[in-house]
Amino acid sequence: MSNQATTKNGIGFQQVTTSNEASLQKGHQQNPWTLVYEGAITKNEKGKVNIHPVKYKLNGIDIAANVYTPANYDASKKFPAVVVAHPNGGIKEQTAGLYAQRLAELGYITIAADAAYQGASGGEPRHTDKPANRIEDIHGMADFITRYVGVDANRLGVLGICGGGGYTLKAAQSDKRFKAVATLSMFNSGEVRRNGFQNSQLATIQERLKQATDARAKEVAGGEVTYAGVANPTDEEIAKITNDLYREGYVYYYRTHAHPNSTFKYTTSSLLDLMTWDAATNMDLINQPLLMMAGSKADTKYMTDEAFSKATNAKNKELFLIEGATHIQTYWRPEYVNQAVNKITDFFGRYLK
């Protein structure tokens, strides 16, 4: 998510948390699959949605994923399936898992995987965050789930959230196994890493490219891997952040829905690839049905608007605003998640029949 400078420790402010938020903070310890979202599965039961941790190889790297099967799952039958791509800094146990579970409750077989080099997946150096890898992760989820017992490979959809939404747009441009394409709170990682959030760092592009170049040179010379996006903010520092994305994002990832596998950290050398990439290019290659969802109050909505306007060949494309929601609130607040799920249900119901 973040292109924010490293936050330094210092002071603390009084943060008010509900009992539900407090319990979510301990969610990864209490849940057998370390899921941290509200309503997460706590045990597999016959006749209900079940979760199946799986591992598979993708270009020699071990990928950790969770497959969710619907309550009426029967291996002898065929079900539509949906690939869910997680946000930047996120993992399969957070909002990607929430939406994967909710879609499984509606009859889809779903998969949420940790990106290569991140979460519980393999890959070195850790926290490498290159667009080509993230796009390949989405192709890899499609590879795996289309061969899963009970999946109808001709009824495959994809949902990308935040940074996963930007990478989903790019994956769907070429991968026509995806018969319907949806994004939620799409975040254009390349544009933000290059220009800064809301174009706030245009003056330092060349300086940051030089830092990324130096970081790569250091790595290949056998030196230490350096990281960007490292943060350990206090409550008071979080409260002083002026934009909703980062203020609420830090609360979500570091407080209410924290998980030890989730971090904003990424190798500085990754910026060589990130800063020359853009999710909104070649949008005319998407010819599948396209649904792009964003909170009406999201300060990231400009990225969805830009990409949507360029999807000139998408069949039956639709922009859906989740009324009253900010970017991060679409990850977890029930009233906004319900709006998104209801819209996705209608969309996938039409195109993954």
pLDDT, tens only, 299-317: 999 999 999 999 999 989 9
From 65-69, 168-172, 231-235, 321-325, the region with the lowest mean pLDDT: 231-235
What's the pTM?
A: 0.91
Res. 325: pLDDT tops 50: yes
For 118-177, how does the pLDDT look when each residue is reduced to its tens digit (9 = 90+)?
999 999 999 999 999 999 999 999 999 999 999 999 999 999 999 999 999 999 999 999
Query: For 18-37, what is each residue's pLDDT tens digit?
Result: 344 444 455 667 999 999 99
pLDDT given for residue 27 in this prediction = 60
What's the pLDDT score for residue 26? 59
Q: What domains, with CATH codes, occur in the chain?
A: 40-230+266-351 (3.40.50.1820)
Q: How confident is the model at residue 264 (pLDDT cuts 50, 70, 90)?
A: confident
User: Residue 25's pLDDT is what?
Assistant: 52
From CA 318, how far away is CA 308, in angstroms rounded?
8
